[in-house]
Amino acid sequence: MKPGVGGRGNYGMLKESKAKGSNPANLNFVGGMRNPTETVAGMPGALNLGLRIFAAWERFYKNNTKAMEMASTYGTADCVFDRATVERWRAELRKLTGSQGKPSVDL
């Protein structure tokens, strides 16, 4: 039997919890996944979609210089959005995924 490793409870736990609620450090993981590469590897549809989106982005930014400027400064105070470029990228994503976009009327 393995000894307890400093967990909570009367007898401790075998391993420290990886749950987001019990360990705030786990909130830092992108999309809540601790190891997205392993997670997506078991989801061939998601992996395929990710690769298609990446290829579409590469094509898009080669033809749209403002897209690369926005991407390189995204998340900084220097980032300036060009509405037309954002709308063109959204249209590319809609075409790629077959999405119809938001309905024109929100009920």
What are the residue ranges spanned by the domains of the chain?
Answer: 44-97
3-state secondary structure 33-80: CCCHHHHHHCCHHHHHHHHHHHHHHHHHHHHCHHHHHHHHHCCCCCCC
Look at residue 1 in the predicted model and tell me its pLDDT: 47
Output the pTM of the full model: 0.57
- Lowest pLDDT segment from 26-30, 33-37, 77-81: 26-30
Percent of the chain with pLDDT over 90: 22
